[in-house]
Structures are given as structure tokens and as C-alpha cells.
Amino acid sequence: MGRPTPPEATTPAPGHSDRSAGAGSTATLPTAEYLRTRLAESVEKSGIPGASLAIRVGDRTVATAVGVLDVETEYPATTDSVFQIGSITKVWTTTLVMQLVDEGLIDLDVPIRTYIPDLRLVDEDAAARVTTRHLLCHVAGFEGELFEDHGNGDDSIARLVASLATVGEQLFPPGETFSYSNAGFDLLGLLVEVRTGLTWERALRERIVAPLGLTHVANNATESILLRTAIGHIGGPDGTNVKAPVHHTDRNGAPSGSALATTATDLLEFAAAHIRLGRLSDDRRLLSEESARAMREPQIEIVGNGAFGARKWGLGWILYDWSGGEVVGHDGGTIGQGAMLRVVPERDVSIALLTNGGALYGVYDLICELLDTLADVRPPAPALPPAEPPAVDASYLVGSYASPAQRFDVAETEDGLTVTTRLLGRLGELLGDATTTMRVVPTSERMLICTEAVGGRHQQFLFLGEGERAEYLHVGRAMRRIPDTGAE
């Protein structure tokens, strides 16, 4: 595979910084033409309608875009097009929270009820104990996959949080087990609203977007329509890309990633402030150095084998176990859109990829190649199904597991083990509740892996519990076993 060639020209990033950077700050950026060619190749093989890619090294940026924003209008994707960044939004929400820590308005380790006295969860003991740090690290333990729409009013996040008193369950005691939680970050959004007196969207604009001088940021469809906006796409009945049924799901999910859209270059401007440890290009501060460092410090081990080298969680940031240096980042997905952000702070290198359908991780090899060249970091080998799977007791694994958003059925057939998935609740209503069945093989007594790659990777399934049968299926988030009804 080819390597990036020296650029004919690069685009200066907004502002100027005298920050001290690692070796990557003098790396030769690829040309936009080279990037466009390589991105086009990856996008075509991955069934992606349109994509935007940007690389930042020090204060130099190169960006490109390929494909279309909408398969029906065939409006071309450009570098100033905005795409939804999904759960990368969680790093922005964390930044808001840490600003409030800097201002003495939040203590990470006191109960959330200190600030939201009427907080109720299904489990009263958990409601009294859960802290801001628990939420930032995805260890609060309550059900996190809640995608119901609580309206477009300024109270939408508060209404979602109120629903936590009756919806879902407490899966683990606070602080015990990692389980990725969108609802936890929506609760953090309410915390931001309570402590600032602003809506989450206004706090984001006043405290992050404006200080960074970002010009292409949208929080909803009304704002998006004023910009060159990517439309999400999903697979149609014949496998081709069709428009997603909605532009974004709900306002109450904005703090966890349902709505925020921006360009790849604006996303890297946000990342650059974190590389500078909270300092803006004009020496004002987005965050204190202490808070910026704390966000990149390990807080919790990820249960099982995290995808793409994800091994630990900081405050907001995912910490990747790559060789050659520290790598942090986050990925995001909404209905029909996907995003990827990787940052190598010691080398002052960052890459953002935004897409509007298809297989996001079909471009992962290109991202890894670029980071290897520019920052001398490399991901661990991907998880692959073993040539000779070990023999395991399937009775421990077989059964049904579910959250309010998804159900997994693990079955033993004549041809081996299978996992069948089906969307539930509002996601099922929007995207359909058709089932998808995958062949899997064991890698250990408590881990299964898909025999075929889906979306660019072989998904793994971890099973937890000390009894004769697993109590939980864990795929980044935990789902409890559904009691047998005799119908299996």
C-alpha cells in the first residue's frame, strides 16, 4: 500500500499557537489530491455515499471530501459540508462538565443529587450514590439505551431524565462495571443545564463553539438546513443506500450524540484545544490544564476486548492501546451517519473522518496507515475468528438478552452457534424490526466472535455471570438475560 507523498500545499489551521509539540508537528502532510484519491477508493469499496476527511499536524491542516451528501439529489460532498458526529459529542459534553469543575460548580465525586435533588432512578440506592465521575466513565450502572422522544421543548432532557425513575433497570451497582450509556450522558446534559442556567445547546455554543471560533456547527435540523448538510443513508431492501427515515432522532439525546453536526476541520479545531491542554490559539483557555489532562487519564478498564484497540476510558475520551504513543479519540454513529476521531497528543496529530452511510470502518485501514506515517503509532491486530475454535459449554451462552433498544438471541444449531439481533422500541419503529443472524464461534468459554466481518470488523460478544448460565451479554453495553419462558 502506498504512503502519503509530500504536499504541494497545506491549509493553515485557524489561529496560531506556540505550543510545544512532538515529532509529528514537523511531519509531511499528504496532498489533498492524494487524500482524495485514497479516500475515494475506500469509500467505494465500503458503500459510503459521501465522506469528509481532515488531518491536522500542528497548525497545518489538509482536508478533502468525496461522494455525495444525498443519493437522490447527488449534491456533492465538500470540505465545508457538515455531518453528524454522533457520540463524539460526548467529548464535547465532557468538556462542558470539566469547565464547570474548573469554576467550582461541580465536584466529580459527590452524588449527582447534590445538584439535581429530585433525581430518581429505578434503584433508590443507586440514585443516592451515582456521581458525575460514574456518568463520565460509563459505570453508573443503570440502563443506558433509551431512545424515546421527549419532545422539542427546552425541558426535553429533564423529561428524559425523569423517565429514568420507571424505565429500564439498575444493571450493576454504581462504579462496578463498564457499560456504555447514552442516558448517562443525557443526565450530564441536564447537569450542565442546571449548573449554567442555559439549555445544553446554548451552553455548547457560548462555552465551546464561540471561543473556538467554529463556523460550521449545527444542533438540529433547523440549524443544519442553513449549512451544506449531509443526509444519512441506510441499506435499502436491495442493499443500496436509501435516505434515512429521520434527520436526527430527538433533542433529549443531544448531549449523548443524537444531533450535533460539524465539519471535519471544525472537529479538529476542537481536538486541537485538547492537544494544547485546554489552551486556545490566542492563549485564552477552554479548560484548565489540570482538567484537560484529567480527561485523558485512565479511569476504568473496558470490559472484554474493546474494538479497534480501545482498552480504557478516560473522562469522555476513549484511550486506545496502540503501539508508539498515546492515542485518544471517540467514534460516533447516528441513523445513517458515522464519524471517527483519533488524536495523538504527543505528536500533535489528529484525524477526523465523517460519513453518511455504508461501512464506516471500511475506511479504518486508511486512517491507521495515515497515523502510522504521520505519528508513528499503530493499532493492535484486529480480533479474528480462530481457525480452530475451542470447545465450550454452549449451555452457559445460549439464551436471549435484551435492553429497551435491542435484543440478542444466542442459539445452538446443527451448524454451530448463531447470534440473532433485532431492534426494539423507537429504533425498531424507525429502522424496522427485521432480524439479522450471524454465525459465531467461541474464542474462549465466555467470548464469541462473528465468523464474517460486518461493517469492517468481526464483532465480539462477551458473557458475564458466575452461575451455570450467563447473566449478561456485553457488547460494549450490558444486556441482562431474559428469563426462560419455555418458548426457546
Answer for the pair 309, 380: CB distance below 8 angstroms, yes or no: yes
Q: How confident is the model at residue 328 (pLDDT cuts 50, 70, 90)?
A: very high
What are the boundaries of each domain within the chain?
A: 18-381, 394-481
Assess whether pLDDT exceeds 80 at residue 9.
no
| Sheet with 349-355: strands ordered across | 11-12, 60-67, 50-57, 349-355, 337-344, 327-334, 318-320, 310-313, 300-301
Instruction: Give residue-wise pLDDT tens across range 59-78.
Output: 999 999 999 999 999 999 99
Using the 8-state DSSP alphabet, how is residue 30 labeled?
Answer: P
Q: Within 13 A of 459's CA, how many CA atoms are on the CB side?
A: 15
For 125, the grid coordinates are 440506592
For 305, the grid coordinates are 476486548
Assess whether pLDDT exceeds 90 at residue 430.
no
Q: How confident is the model at residue 386 (pLDDT cuts 50, 70, 90)?
A: very high
Residue 114 belongs to what H/E stretch?
Answer: none
Give all strands (DSSP E) within 23-163, no chain letters: 50-57, 60-67, 83-84
Q: Which residues, including other chains, have CB under 8 Å from residue 341's CB and lie 6 or more apart?
A: 85, 88, 91, 267, 271, 329, 330, 331, 350, 351, 352, 353
Please report the pLDDT score of residue 485 as a whole number: 61
Q: Which amino acid is at 456?
A: G
3-state secondary structure at position 408? strand
Assess whether pLDDT exceeds 90 at residue 245.
no
Catalytic residue among 46, 87, 179, 224: 87
Using the 8-state DSSP alphabet, how is residue 95 labeled?
Answer: H
Assess whether pLDDT exceeds 50 at residue 167.
yes
Instruction: Give residue-wise pLDDT tens across range 387-400.
Output: 999 999 999 999 99
Instruction: Give residue-wise pLDDT tens across range 192-217.
Output: 999 999 999 999 999 999 999 999 99
Please report the pLDDT score of residue 11 as a whole number: 42
pLDDT, mean of residues 247-275: 93
What fold, for 394-481?
Answer: Lipocalin (2.40.128)
Assess whether pLDDT exceeds 70 at residue 319.
yes
Separation CA 277–CA 25 (nearest Å): 16
Whole-number average pLDDT of the chain: 91
3-state secondary structure at position 339? strand
Q: Within 13 A of 109's CA, how many CA atoms are on the CB side?
A: 1
pLDDT, mean of residues 148-154: 84
What fold, for 18-381?
Answer: Beta-lactamase (3.40.710)
Cell 442493499 belongs to which residue? 239
Residue 37, φ and ψ in degrees, nearest 5: -65, -45
Assess whether pLDDT exceeds 50 at residue 31.
yes
Instruction: Give residue-wise pLDDT tens across range 81-117.
Output: 999 999 999 999 999 999 999 999 999 999 999 999 9
pLDDT, mean of residues 226-252: 89
Separation CA 292–CA 102 (nearest Å): 10
Assess whether pLDDT exceeds 60 at residue 372.
yes
Q: What angle do CA 137, 112, 302 make, to 5 degrees?
A: 10
Q: Is 25 a catalytic residue?
A: no
What b/e string do you get for 247-259 counting C-beta neighbours within 10 Å, with b at 16 or more? Answer: bbbbbbbbbbbbb
Q: Which residues, including other chains, have CB under 8 Å from residue 346's CB and lie 6 or more apart?
A: 22, 24, 325, 326
Assess whether pLDDT exceeds 90 at residue 184.
yes
Assess whether pLDDT exceeds 60 at residue 13.
no
